Amino acid sequence: MASSSSSYVPALAAITCLVVMVLGCCWPVEARIPTTLDGPFEPATVPFDQSLRGNAVDLPEFDHRVRRRVKGFEPEQISVSLSANYDSVWISWVTGESQIGYNIKPLDPKSVASVVRYGKLRYPPTHEATGYSLVYNQLYPFEGLQNYTSGIIHHVRLTGLKPNTLYFYRCGDPSIPAMSEIYHFRTMPVSGPRSYPERIAVVGDLGLTYNTTTTISHLTSNDPDLVLLIGDVTYANLYLTNGTGSDCYSCSFPHSPIQETYQPRWDYWGRFMENLISKVPIMVIEGNHEIEEQAENKTFVAYSSRFAFPSEESGSSSTFYYSFNAGGIHFIMLGAYIDFTRSGKQYKWLEQDLANVDRSTTPWLVATWHPPWYSTYEAHYREAECMRLEMEELLYSYGVDIVFNGHVHAYERSNRVYNYNLDPCGPVYLTVGDGGNREKMAVKYADEPGNCPEPSTTPDEYIGGICAKNFTSGPAAGKFCWDRQPDYSAFRESSFGHGILEVKNETWALWTWYRNQDANSKVGDQIYIVRQPDKCHVRQVLKSWVVDI
């Protein structure tokens, strides 16, 4: 355990017996994993290990793990992502070479077919599906900046799949011929209160550094069934179009007319990740590093083009917000960098999506978006306050259990919280922006002397205006920051790493956070998150009417 046993309310023997009975496992009382029933916990901080600073170095373009290894129009950068339910998945890949320069000529996406052959047997495949393809460009309206055009990106949706079943597949164009090797994936279990994927990996702010490689190595060793990437994928926007990079773009290139990107790093990232995400589905939500502004004020083009999203299947008209089921968990992926106001399309979609959730089928409700609402680090402190003020009440009223965020390059776990107050029915907020990117880790806390930012410096231009104000009640009344670690912060540590969520049944889920610098099996933070649907006021649908229970 990361925190001392004195941080937890003493556990009764009856609760320990209940845990043993419910989960079918046994451990000594003194080694018992804490649960949210023991909380709220006294805030705990692990001091920063100074030896970890300065180690985030990007993989170079000549690293064998990011170089193009296929020929012609053979598929590469292959990945799997989920549809809204277990019976469908998306297969994505890239064919042909990208181009960067002053005289680029986009490939014709119609020149190569999008075909997936698949089945329950490794060979021969019994089914075939076709999809669509596209090419995107990253163009700049300034002389001297190089433009980019991608290879042909393919997305094919497989339907009619059986739950919790291993499928083998090949993708490509059989007429050239240019087909991939045989890969495999396993579908999600059927939705139900006793049906869950065994392990869900959660990571944010990944990038493509040597720290990233450690994160992915450790994550892979935990044998996940699903990967959630909570924004900030490649950090291609820390580079100029000539391939020159920096840990801090604005520091190194203060006179840039537009924030450039080096789009080949998206290709590097896709090649590096293929070994994992060609087998394990990955679900991604956008972060600020995916904005990537270009000519005609276009943004998020690489993000929206390279990944497949179950937007249409979940009733969304956008790649920036969508939902899906993984067994008895309903995931809601939200966009912080588009309109989130109550009059906007995203909010109205969220209202409808929440109203359609049947908690008897998907008891767990998990929400994700990139910038955290509850973070005590100086970096990005209260940056997304406008979004919180618009959406928090709605999420709380429907009983969201867990929220995953990134953006802050460190780890933090909250107590159950609502509107900055400890609340036994509020979500547990988990910040996992510690995947290993090139930017430095967040190590300063807003509650430490001299670290409280000026309110005018907190908003991000894409997340609204100045909404964060001084607290009006509680220990921090009249102040913008607490003068100690806030009560809502249960545990925090600056370190690269990743998390694993294991939902055991309709009320118990085990959350484990692993540090990069530790052995794969060593735990940095661990807790059972326990739902209490009988005690918490939750809205849900009953006979087509929204009611309170």
Strands 147-149 and 127-130, bridge-based pairing? unpaired
Summarize the confidence of residues 430-451 as an average pLDDT: 96
The number of beta carbons lying within 10 Å of the beta carbon of residue 2 is 18
Instruction: Compute, in degrees rounded to 10, the torsion defined by CA atoms 363, 187, 284, 360.
Output: -10
507 Cβ partners below 8 Å, 6+ apart?
Answer: 22, 363, 530, 531, 532, 533
Q: What average pLDDT does the segment 360-371 reach?
A: 98
Helical ranges in 357-502 per DSSP H: 385-397
Closest CA to 269 of 223, 215, 224, 311: 215
pLDDT at 24 over 50: no
Q: Are 360 and 330 in contact (CB under 8 A)?
A: no
Using a pLDDT cut of 70, give the percent of the chain over it: 92
The domain segmentation of the chain, as residue ranges, is 44-530
Percent share of the chain, pLDDT over 90: 87
Mean pLDDT for 154-160 is: 98
Contacts of 143 (CB under 8 A, 6+ apart): none
Grade residue 149 by pLDDT with cuts at 50, 70 and 90: very high
Which one, of 432, 511, 505, lies nearest residue 199 by Cα?
511
154, 289, 370, 380: which is the annotated catalytic residue?
380
Q: Contact, 415 vs 3, CB < 8 A?
A: no
Question: Smallest Cα–Cα separation from 350: which of 370, 364, 363, 336?
Answer: 336
pLDDT of residue 547: 41
Query: What pLDDT, on the 0 to 100 scale, is given for residue 465?
Result: 85
The mean pLDDT of 56-61, rounded to a whole number, is 93
Q: Strand order in 44-46's β-sheet?
A: 44-46, 489-493, 411-414, 428-432, 402-405, 364-368, 329-333, 322-326
Judge whether residue 542 has pLDDT over 60.
Answer: no
Q: Domain 44-530 in CATH: superfamily? A: Metallo-dependent phosphatases (3.60.21.10)
CA angle 40, 401, 407 (to 5 degrees): 85
d(CA 138, CA 104): 11
Average pLDDT over residues 210-226: 96
Predicted pLDDT at 55: 65
Q: How high is the pLDDT of residue 323?
A: 98
| 3-state DSSP percent of the chain in helix, strand and coil, to 5 | 20, 25, 55
Q: For 112, phi and psi rounded to 5 degrees?
A: -130, 130
CB neighbour burial string for 215-231, b if at least 16 within 10 angstroms, e if fewer:
bbebbbebebbbbbbbb
CA dihedral (459, 464, 465, 471) in degrees, to 10, reads -70
The rounded distance, in Å, linking the Cα atoms of 212 and 206 is 6
Number of residues that this document lists for the chain? 549
Tell me which residue of 54, 60, 442 sits closest to 245, measured CA to CA: 60
350-361: average pLDDT: 97
Q: What are the CA-CA distances from residue 384 to residues 288, 390, 453, 476 (Å)?
A: 12, 10, 14, 19
Looking at residue 31, its pLDDT comes to 66
Rounded Cα gap, residues 81 and 131, in angstroms: 14
Q: Looking at residue 461, what is its pLDDT?
A: 87
Confidence of residue 519 (pLDDT cuts 50, 70, 90): confident
Whether the upstream peptide bond of residue 459 has omega within 30° of 0, thus cis, is: no
For the segment 314-329, the average pLDDT, to the nearest whole number, is 98
> Which of these ranges, 49-58, 149-158, 409-418, 516-525, has the smallest mean pLDDT?
49-58
- Given a contact cutoff of 8 angstroms between Cβ atoms, the answer to whether 488 and 478 are in contact is no
Longest dimension (CA), the chain: 72
Mean pLDDT estimate for the chain: 92
pLDDT category at 56 given cuts 50, 70, 90 is confident
> Looking at residue 53, what is its pLDDT?
66
Active site residue 407: no
b/e per residue, 402-412, with b = 16+ CB within 10 A? bbbbbbbbbbb
Q: What are the tens digits of pLDDT across the range 95-135?
A: 999 999 999 999 999 999 999 999 999 999 999 999 999 99
Rg (CA), the chain: 23
Residues near 473 by Cβ (< 8 Å), separated by ≥ 6?
Answer: none
